Amino acid sequence: MTNKIKTDVDAIVIGSGFAGLALIHYLRDAGLSVKVFDKASDIGGTWTWNRYPGAMTDSEGYYYCLAFSKELLQKWTWSQRYPAWEETHRYMHFIADECDMWPHIQLNTAVTNAEYREDSGTWLITTADGEQCTCKYFVSGMGMISEPVIPKIKGMDTFNGPLFHSARWPEGLDYAGKRVAIIGAGATTVQMMPVLAETAGNVTVFHRTPNFILPAMQKPMTPEWEKDIKDNYDDIIEKCRNHVFGMAFDSPVGRNAVDTPEEERQKIFEENWTGSFRWVFETFDDLLADPAANDMASEFIINKMKERIEDPEIAKILAPVVGEYPLFAKRPPLDHGYLEAYSRDNVNLVDIRNREPIVEITETGIRTTENDFEFDIIILATGFRAYTGALEAVTITGVNGQTLADKWETTSKSIMGVCVSGFPNMFTVTGPQAPFANLPTSIEQNAIWIANCIKKMEGDGHSLCTPKQEAEDEWSAHVSEVHVQTLMNQGDKVNSWMMGANIENHEPRVLIYFGGADVYYQKLRESSDAGFPEVSFASIAG
Ligand code: NAP
C-alpha cells in the first residue's frame, strides 16, 4: 500500500535550474505533485547566478538543452555556437512557459533545513522565512558547481569598494573606467576578463596555477547549420547519451596519439584545432588515459597558447609546463580572446604563486609582498565547492539524526550520484560520484531514473525507498577504482575542484565518476530495468 500519511506535496525540489525544470517535467509525468523552491529571484540556477560580463556556456548550445520534447527542440533556435548567459536564461524561461511549469515554482525562498521523519517516512522542509512544508520525496536540483568558495584573505572586510564572488555579480554594477582586480584565473576569469577590459579603466588578474586554455572559436548560427541540427536532432541527442562526457562529439575516433607518427599526429592536432573541447575527444582516444599522449596534447596546447601571448614574460606565467600536471586534471577553460587581452595596455597580470603572494586586502586595494595595488572593485573568481557544497549548505538530516555534511566529512559517497544511504526518500541530481559531463544530458538521465524509481515503488504499493549501504559501498569502490586509473587523479596536485582540492582544510576526495558518462547512463538504465536493486522498497503504515 502506498503511504497514506498526508503531506503538503508529493515532491519538493530545491533549485530551478536545468535540474529543477527537468524534475518538474519527469516527476509531474510520473503523476506526482511537485513544488520547487529557489532562493534566487528568477529561475535559471547557474544562469541566474553567473551574470558576470562574458558569461556563456562552454558546451555548444544546440546540445546544452533538455531533450524531453522533440517539439521544443525544433521550436528553439540558438543564435550562436556558445550562447551567452542571457540567451540560455531566455531558453529556460521558454521551457518553463511552454511546459506550464511556473505554478510549481516558488522563488525567493531559501531552504535552510530538510529533515527526514522516520515515523512517517516523510520530509519536513523549512525555509529561511520559517515556512514549513512536508513531502514524501525530497530532491536536490541545487547544481554541482553552485556553492561559491570565498577565500579567507586578511583584511577582506576592510575594502572600501564592492568586493564580491563572480557568481554574485551586483546588478547594475558600473565598472566603466574603474580599476578592477580579479583574484583567480579559472574558466570564469578566462570568460570575464577580456569583456571587462573593454570598458574598465584597468583590469589586474591575480594568478596562481596555470591552465590549459583551449580556444572557443565562437561563430554565429546560420540557416544551413540550424537546418542541419534540426534535421538531425534525434542523432545529436543520441550522440550525447553515448559519449564519455555527454557531448555530441564524434568519438571515439579509433586511433591513439602514441601510435601515430609525429608528423601525422601534428597534422591531426592542427586540423582539429577548431574550438571547443572537441579537440580533446575528436583527435585521439588516448589523450586522457595515457600519460605520454596527454603530454603530447599538453605540449601542442602550450605552444598554441604561447603563439597568442605577445609578452614572453606573461606567457611564462599563463602557460603550464608539460609534466607539471596532466591536461584535464584541472578543467580547461575555453577562451574568447583572454590570451590576446594581455596585450592591452589596461590589463595586468600578477603572479601570486611564484613572485608576489597576496598579503592582505586593504581599504584601497590589494597588498602583495612586492606592491600596493589600488582598486575600485575586487572580484573573487575563486571557484566553487563542487558536487557537495550546495547540499551541505542546507542542513539535511537523515536517519538517526545524521546530517549529510557529517556523513561527507572525509569522503563523499553516494549511489551513482542519485541517492545516499541513510537518507531515505531523498534523491540528488548530479550528486557526488556522478560523472562530470555536459550537464543537461546528465541531469535528464538522473531525473528519468528518479522519476522511474518513484513510479516503480508507488506502482508496487510501497512508500519508502531506502538506499542500500552495500550498494553505496560498491559504487564508491568502483568510482575509486576507475579514478586511480585516470590522469584526473592528479587533480589534488593543483587544487582541482574535481577532487574538492580547492577547498581549504578539506581532504581531497574522489568526487567524480570517470568511467564515462555513456557507461554511467547505461548503468542507470540497467538499474531501472532491473527494478532498482540499489535501493529497497517498503511500506510505512499510515
Ligand atoms: P576555478 O576553475 O576553480 O578557478 C578558481 C581560481 O581561483 C583558480 O585560478 C584558483 O587558483 C584561484 N583561487 C582560489 N582560491 C584562491 C585564493 N585564496 N587566492 C588566490 N587565488 C585563488 O573556478 P571558476 O573559474 O569559477 O570555474 C569553476 C568551474 O565552473 C569551471 O571549471 C567550470 O566547470 C565551471 N564554469 C563553467 C563555465 C561554462 O561552462 N560556461 C564558465 C565558468 C565556470 P588555483 O588554481 O591555484 O587554485
**Can you list the domains of the chain with their CATH numbers?**
9-147+385-538 (3.50.50.60), 148-211+333-383 (3.50.50.60)
Greatest alpha-carbon span in the chain: 72
Q: What is the mean pLDDT of the segment spanning 294-314?
A: 98
* Distance separating alpha carbons of residues 424 and 539, to the nearest angstrom: 12
Reduce the DSSP state of residue 120 to 3 states and report it. coil
Q: Which residues pair with 116 in a beta bridge?
A: 123
* Distance separating alpha carbons of residues 180 and 140, to the nearest angstrom: 36
CA 181, 186, 188, 191 torsion: positive or negative? Answer: positive
Q: What is the mean pLDDT of the segment spanning 44-65?
A: 98
Reduce the DSSP state of residue 361 to 3 states and report it. strand
Grid coordinates standing for 510?
574522489
Is the beta carbon of 438 within 6 A of some atom in ligand 1? no
Query: For the whole prediction, is pTM greater than 0.75?
Result: yes
The closest residue, in CA terms, to atom 23 on ligand 1 is: 383
Is the beta carbon of 58 within 6 A of some atom in ligand 1? yes
Is the beta carbon of 66 within 6 A of some atom in ligand 1? no
Is the beta carbon of 54 within 6 A of some atom in ligand 1? no
Q: How far is CA 492 from the centre of its chain?
A: 18
Is the beta carbon of 336 within 6 A of some atom in ligand 1? no
Q: For the residues of 319-343, what is the DSSP string, one character each?
A: S--TTTS-TTSSPPPEESSHHHHTT
Is the beta carbon of 209 within 6 A of some atom in ligand 1? yes
* Distance separating alpha carbons of residues 411 and 444, to the nearest angstrom: 26
Parallel, antiparallel, or unpaired: how do β-strands 105-106 and 34-37 relate? parallel
Q: For the residues of 52-110, what is the DSSP string, one character each?
A: STT-B-SS-GGGSS--S-HHHHHH---SBSS-BHHHHHHHHHHHHHHTT-GGGEE-S--
CB 369 within 8 Å of CB 481: no
Q: DSSP state, 395?
A: E
Residue whose CB lies within 8 A of the most ligand 1 atoms, among 65, 85, 188, for a mutation test: 188
pLDDT in tens, 121-167: 999 999 999 999 999 999 999 999 999 999 999 999 999 999 999 99
pLDDT in tens, 71-86: 999 999 999 999 999 9
The closest residue, in CA terms, to atom 46 on ligand 1 is: 209
Which ligand 1 atom sits nearest the alpha carbon of residue 211?
Answer: 46
Q: Which residues pair with 154 in a beta bridge?
A: none
- pLDDT confidence band for 277 (50 / 70 / 90): very high
CB 327 within 8 Å of CB 288: yes
